[in-house]
Amino acid sequence: MALLKIARMGHPVLRRAALPVADPSAARIVRLLADMAETMADAGGIGLAAPQVHVPLRVVMFMVPAVRAAEPHAPAGSPGGSLPLSVLINPEIEPLGEEMEESWEGCLSVPGLTGLVPRFRRIRYSGVDAEGQAVSRIAEGFHARVVQHECDHLDGILYPARMRDLRHFGFVDELQRSVRMREDEEARSVAAEQPDQEMSQVPAEEAN
């Protein structure tokens, strides 16, 4: 196994449509999957597409951590909706309904940034797994989101292109700082409206 270099936003490989995999059992695909898994783990990611490691093939892998997996349509054998590392080769996605939801996303190819992205809430996805077996699952919530995000890479789409409002796009640390400042202002406003004798009940971090 080997660590692969992750392409960053702006590299042409991330703008191209990836090619179908002719033989999922080929030795080069087996090696690619092993290298992608090692690279994803080293980078602390929960999903990775082959174009992100400069390989323009329709291959993705992803996982759903238990902490992000409160969803009713969990795959069999995945308690609480969590999903171990999963591989999809030549994936296809079908939205189940028109309901969309927005949530924050990040990307190993867009380091340090995050954005509020609308996605279909519920989907069916299919493809071939690492053992060459056909896969078909229904997913919703975070599970559906991560699959849509990774499969977008196969069509040359990065998540900022899906955003409705670029005011909700920025560096993670700056957005976190903005949230903290807003919360502090709200806390001070609430404290100012309370009687003096109640000030001691305000937690220190909120009263500052």
- Residues annotated as part of the active site: 150
Whether the CA torsion 167, 168, 173, 176 is positive or negative: it is positive
With 0-12 / 13-18 / 19 or more C-beta atoms within 10 angstroms meaning exposed / middle / buried, residue 67 is: exposed
d(CA 38, CA 24): 19
d(CA 158, CA 149): 8
Q: Looking up tokens 């309904």, which residue turns up?
A: 97
**Pairing between β-strand 113-120 and β-strand 59-64 as defined by DSSP bridges:** unpaired
H or E element that contains 134: strand 134-140
Q: Which of 93, 90, 84 is nearest to 40 (CA)?
A: 84
d(CA 60, CA 147): 8
